[in-house]
Structure 1
Amino acid sequence: MLERAAPHDHLNLTGGAIGGGMPLATGAALAFLGRKVVSLQGDGSAMYTPQALWTQARENLDVTTVIFANHSYRVLDEELDLLGAPAPGAQAAALLELDRPRLDWVRTAEGMGVEATRVHTTSDLEKALRSTFEHAGPGLIEAAIGRRPTQ
């Protein structure tokens, strides 16, 4: 699909760490002032470095952050599966959840000076993305998604 996209650069983490995506997007926006940066983040990873939103607001960086909100550290579930670890018990599994209290990325972003919206459908996501491309500066879209069951 990316081969049909307009010219662009693609930066991603190589694995082994979580939480670096929003700071990476912030750095890319600083390096390429005037160029739109789109950051795709899971909500668990975003919890490691939410202060990047404040930097984006302070410096008026042209970053659109999309938070895929499934309210869990899903990547850690996947790592346990890859290791062949047994299913965690109820107390351990609860540590991988982000729903007590439930995270609200719209309020978090707005509290750091970043315009934000929440979407529930792919068509609403498309509209929100188009809207962020119409103006410069930081923005956040919380894309509410269901949690996949663990195998």
Structure 2
Amino acid sequence: MGLVRRGGWGAAIAAPNRQVIALQSDGSAQYTIQAMWTMAREQTNVVTLIASNSRYGILRTELGRHGGSSTGRASATLTSLADPALDWPALAAGYGVPAQRAETGMELTRALGRALVEAGPQLIEMVL
């Protein structure tokens, strides 16, 4: 089993007999959502775990690095992914990737167990 950050489909294509787990946060996944389509088309064995905290964390970090505030109302609104909320299982399904949502540690354990025995790509939204 391989563990990668972001995408994961390249690792799965390079080693098609190995299971790949890709870790991704919801904000950065917005920049790479098209990878879902590639994983579905190529039927890669990638389980994508989306850490879903409903915000663009990297943008908040960059605001701080450049002297801005991430705590003000405007900054919080501009870096939020909560309104409208992203529906990761629906987004994945739209790209042809089966998906599950986990809100507790037990739900994540069960979802990951199911995903690891299935062939092809899977997505699990981990609600934080």
Shift of 1:10: 4.7
Gaps of 5+ in 1: 1-7, 13-20, 146-151
Aligned twin of 1:120: 103
Shift of 1:109: 0.2
**TM-score for the superposition, normalised by structure 2:** 0.90
Shift of 1:84: 6.8
- 1:99 matched to 2:82? The reply is yes
**TM-score for the superposition, normalised by structure 1:** 0.77
Q: Equivalents in 2 of 1:118, 1:85: separation in Å?
A: 36
Q: Equivalents in 1 of 2:89, 2:4: separation in Å?
A: 25
State the secondary structure of the residue aligned to 1:80: helix
Aligned twin of 2:12: 29
Q: How does 1:122-137 map to 2 (within 5 A)?
A: 122-137=105-120
State the secondary structure of the residue aligned to 2:111: helix
Q: Equivalents in 2 of 1:138, 1:130: separation in Å?
A: 14
Q: How does 1:1-151 map to 2 (within 5 A)?
A: 9-12=2-5, 21-22=6-7, 25-81=8-64, 83=65, 85-88=67-70, 89-145=72-128
| 2:48–2:124 contact (8 Å) kept in structure 1 | yes
Q: Equivalents in 2 of 1:84, 1:49: separation in Å?
A: 25
State the secondary structure of the residue aligned to 2:118: coil
Structure with the bigger percentage of strand: 2
Give the CA RMSD over aligned residues: 1.7
Task: Work out the percentage of aligned pairs sharing the same amino acid.
Answer: 42
Q: 1:9 to 1:62 in 2, by over 3 A?
A: closer
Q: Equivalents in 2 of 1:44, 1:38: separation in Å?
A: 18
| 1:72–1:96 contact (8 Å) kept in structure 2 | yes
Shift of 1:75: 2.5
Instruction: Kindly provide the CA deviation profile for residues 61-92 of structure 1, in whole angstroms up to 9, marking residues without a partner as x.
Output: 000001011110112223334x2724243223
Gaps of 5+ in 2: none
